[in-house]
A and B are shown apart, each in its own frame.
Chain A
Amino acid sequence: MPDTLLPDGILTPARPDPAHVPAAPASAALARPRARRAGMAGRRFLSPLLIVLAWQAASSAGLISPQTLASPWQIGRTALALSADGTLGRNLLVSLGRAGAGFALAFAAGVVLALISGLSRLGEDVVDAPMQMLRTLPALALVPLFILWFGIGEVPKVALVALGGVFPIYLNLFKGIRSVDPKLLEMARTLRLGRRDTIRHVVLPGALPDLLVGLRLSVGISWLMLVVAEQVNASSGIGHMMMDAQDFLRTDIIMVGLLVYALLGLGSDQGVRWLERHLLRWQPPSPGYRA
């Protein structure tokens, strides 16, 4: 059976092509990538599925107590119930509001500060040093101070998200502005472009890829900050829902909260990727990039 000659023996029966198989491995290699990608996608989902099945089996058999970890089935039912009675939606909106407001502040402040320090030497002297010092502070360690300053309302939560998210935006945009190709800047001078037009047509678009890198990091950090902020003195939000559930040993609700956080992170990351594809469509697609 010539099938066994191929390294990917599992895949070949799907497309039985006697004309191809006896030929040299070269032609098989040409035909392979598509089948292989489909097969790999399937394979990648296989092991998580097996883990969930084993988890469910262990829960059903009583090997895992629901107070340690709820079963996948139970988590699904709780998720539906929480959605049906509006608990999940209400808390999700609160969390989204905090993350959105904090991230918007981080983005605005990061962009403005990076423009100031990126576009002028004076601005760099004034802005960059304090930013470089502040960024070494672990933002999460500021929670006690923020509570003293802002109380336990919405302000410290939004401020924490903003503080965590501002640095990746600032640092990456600053670097992007400063590393614009000097040859392009010279070209702009020979075209007699003014400072304004040079910034608009050359510097800012040139810094955009770096800004998007910063954006992606910033979005990730914003969620992390939100999680911490919501587990400290919150009376609403996904984090609060989870802390509440802890008091009643409801691991199913805690797991639903975790899932929601994961989905939020995944969704926002996909959003940034979409933005990248759209805004950087002038870049040739890099081989091996998988969105």
Chain B
Amino acid sequence: MSAPASGGMPATVLVRGLERRFGNTTVLDRLDLSVGAGEFVALLGRSGSGKTTLLRTLTGLDPVQTGEVRVPAAQAVVFQESRLLPWKRVWENVALGLEGADARGRAEVALEEVGLGHRLAAWPLTLSGGEAQRAGIARALVREPSFLMLDEPFASLDALTRLRMQDMVGALWRRHRCAVLLVTHDVDEALLLADRAVVLDKGRIRASFPIALPRPRRHADPDFARLRAALLDALDVRAVDQAA
């Protein structure tokens, strides 16, 4: 089963027949994926499903061996670890590599937007995990990306901080309307945020679920629960539970 194109929207990201091998292991196997302009796609998959490799290919960190990958030049990544330079103040990290006038002013606006206006001149090692991740998001947003990649950005945060950050990312996306690819292994996170969830398995898109729930979304919604069950099924979680 290959990824259905997202209906009608012009694709911001287009991947066709992408293959990636390390020796005899096929990590990405003739993978097709498209993300429409302003579409929020969650990419789910278990460890070793090829999520990381796909993301690294989209960011340009890994080369395209076989296949076609079209991504906009205006793209940005938020990593699982914030990857701030510890020797630069928070605003300097956000302004790093910015071109054009008033990089500092733009960095400060971005930091205000993620609620870090009070830590502009802080050293990164003094930030909490949530604050560091906000700074990472500001560093991505300040580049005004038309395609934003989030690589398990909340995985190492505590549960409460994670909920707050998910809310914030949802709000930022509604305001900026960039295409988003959120890599996660948290089914609830995908259902809270995404327009569409795709499941990656053995290097291929195994299933694609449009999530047409009204926002803001609630866990208690019966449709939420139904989609959750379907997604978990696609991830083979039920099967594993029964086998165990």
Residues from chain A with Cβ under 8 Å of B86 in the complex: 282-283
How far apart are the CA atoms of A189 and B96 in the complex, in Å?
A: 12
Given A190-B59, A193-B96, do A202 and B85 touch, yes or no (CB 8 Å)? yes
Interface on chain B toward A: helix, strand, loop, or mixed SS? loop
Q: Name the segment of A35-43, A152-160, A180-188 touching the other chain.
A: A180-188
A189 to chain B, nearest CB (A): 6
Question: What residue of chain A has the Cβ atom nearest to residue B92's Cβ?
Answer: A201
A192 at interface, CB cutoff 8 A? yes
Tell me how many residues of A have a C-beta within 8 Å of chain B.
20
B interface footprint on A116-151 (CB within 8 Å = 1, 0 otherwise): 000000000000000000000000000000000000
Q: A88 to B174, alpha carbons, bound, how many Å?
A: 75
Q: Say what secondary structure dominates the interface of chain A.
A: helix
**Min CB gap A181→B, angstroms:** 8
Shortest Cβ distance from residue B59 to the other chain A in the assembled complex, whole angstroms: 5
In the complex, whether A205 has a CB less than 8 A from a CB of chain B is yes
Which B residues lie within 8 Å of A281 (CB)? 123
Q: A190-B60, A208-B87 are in contact. Are A183 and B97 (CB under 8 A)?
A: no
Contact check, B125 vs A191: say whether CB atoms are below 8 A apart.
no
Q: Which of B6-14, B34-42, B76-84, B218-226 lies at the interface with chain A?
A: B76-84
> Residue B61 contacts which of A184, A186, A208, A284 (CB distance < 8 angstroms)?
A186
Shortest C-beta distance, A195 to chain B (Å), equals 12
Q: Which of A186, A187, A190 has the most CB of B within 10 A?
A: A190
Cβ-based interface call for A265 (8 A): no
A201 to chain B, nearest CB (A): 6
Indicate whether A183 sits within 8 Å of B96 (C-beta atoms), given known contacts A189-B60, A202-B85.
no
- Establish whether residues A282 and B76, one from each chain, have CB atoms under 8 Å apart when the complex forms: no
- For window 119-152 of B, CB contacts with A under 8 Å fall at 123-126, 139, 143
- Chain A residues with CB under 8 A of B126: 284
6 contacts between A and B (CB under 8 A): A184-B83, A189-B60, A190-B60, A202-B85, A208-B87, A282-B123
Contact surface of B with A, Cβ cutoff 8 Å: 59-61, 76-77, 79, 81, 83, 85-88, 96-97, 123-126, 139, 143
